[in-house]
Amino acid sequence: MRVLHGERGTSLVELIIALPIAALIVAGVAGIFYQVVKASDYANDAVGAYTEVQRAGARVSRDAVQAQVVPDNNYGNTGTVLIAVDQDVSISGTEVLILEWTDWDGDHMEVAYSLVTVGGSSLKELQRTLKVNGSITDTYVAAEDLDDSIDPESFAARTRFEWSSAEKEVVRLVVTALVGQESSTRTYEIRPRASA
């Protein structure tokens, strides 16, 4: 092997100094990458929780604009306010809000919202069931990842339907969604339009 004048190899001392510096740079880059991924997960969870709250409110509000009647069928009270609990076994869930109206074609529309337990989870889904002239025509999930656990400060469920006053003219929907470690809560006031 031919050695040119002025060229030299890497010494052991230089290697011993360079390796920890390279390790620090790699650790710094890995730490920054971890923080970016963690911030992204946080943002995704926060947006997901907000989206579910918005989905619930938008769907219920859309039906409430049509509603002429919010029946008060409180046949049972287990320590929480139950609004218009329907005894129809085809509608699953523990707490149900029922909105009724007659459409332009004279059909009687009834929409029931119930909080349904998702298999193996402590979170609930808001299920929407539509009946037209007494027959179920559509059932789907209006919102997911809803937290109906008891708030230790207010002693009320975090997601619930309740009358906003003793006159029972306005129903309040308080909805809390929990996605990952992030939650979002919003309150909607539901006032049926006057019956014709």
Examine residue 4 and state whether it is found in any structural domain, yes or no: no
Examine residue 146 and state whether it is found in any structural domain, yes or no: yes
Examine residue 5 and state whether it is found in any structural domain, yes or no: no
pLDDT the model gives residue 86: 37
Rounded to whole angstroms, how far apart are CA atoms 57 and 68?
18
Predicted model pTM: 0.69
Under a CB-based contact definition with an 8 Å cutoff, are residues 85 and 76 in contact?
Answer: yes
pLDDT the model gives residue 133: 92
pLDDT the model gives residue 56: 92
Q: Which portions of the chain are predicted below pLDDT 50?
A: 74-92, 195-196
- As for how many domains the chain has, the answer is 1
pLDDT by residue (tens digit) across 7-43?
677 788 888 888 999 999 999 888 888 888 887 878 8
Examine residue 157 and state whether it is found in any structural domain, yes or no: yes
Under a CB-based contact definition with an 8 Å cutoff, are residues 31 and 58 in contact?
Answer: no
Examine residue 27 and state whether it is found in any structural domain, yes or no: no
pLDDT the model gives residue 128: 92
pLDDT the model gives residue 148: 83
Examine residue 9 and state whether it is found in any structural domain, yes or no: no
pLDDT the model gives residue 104: 82
Rounded to whole angstroms, how far apart are CA atoms 154 and 174?
12
pLDDT the model gives residue 196: 43
The parent domain of residue 90 ranges over 43-190
Under a CB-based contact definition with an 8 Å cutoff, are residues 70 and 97 in contact?
Answer: yes
Examine residue 162 and state whether it is found in any structural domain, yes or no: yes
Examine residue 118 and state whether it is found in any structural domain, yes or no: yes
Q: Please give the C-alpha separations between residue 36 and each of 5, 41, 57, in angstroms, as whole numbers.
A: 48, 9, 32
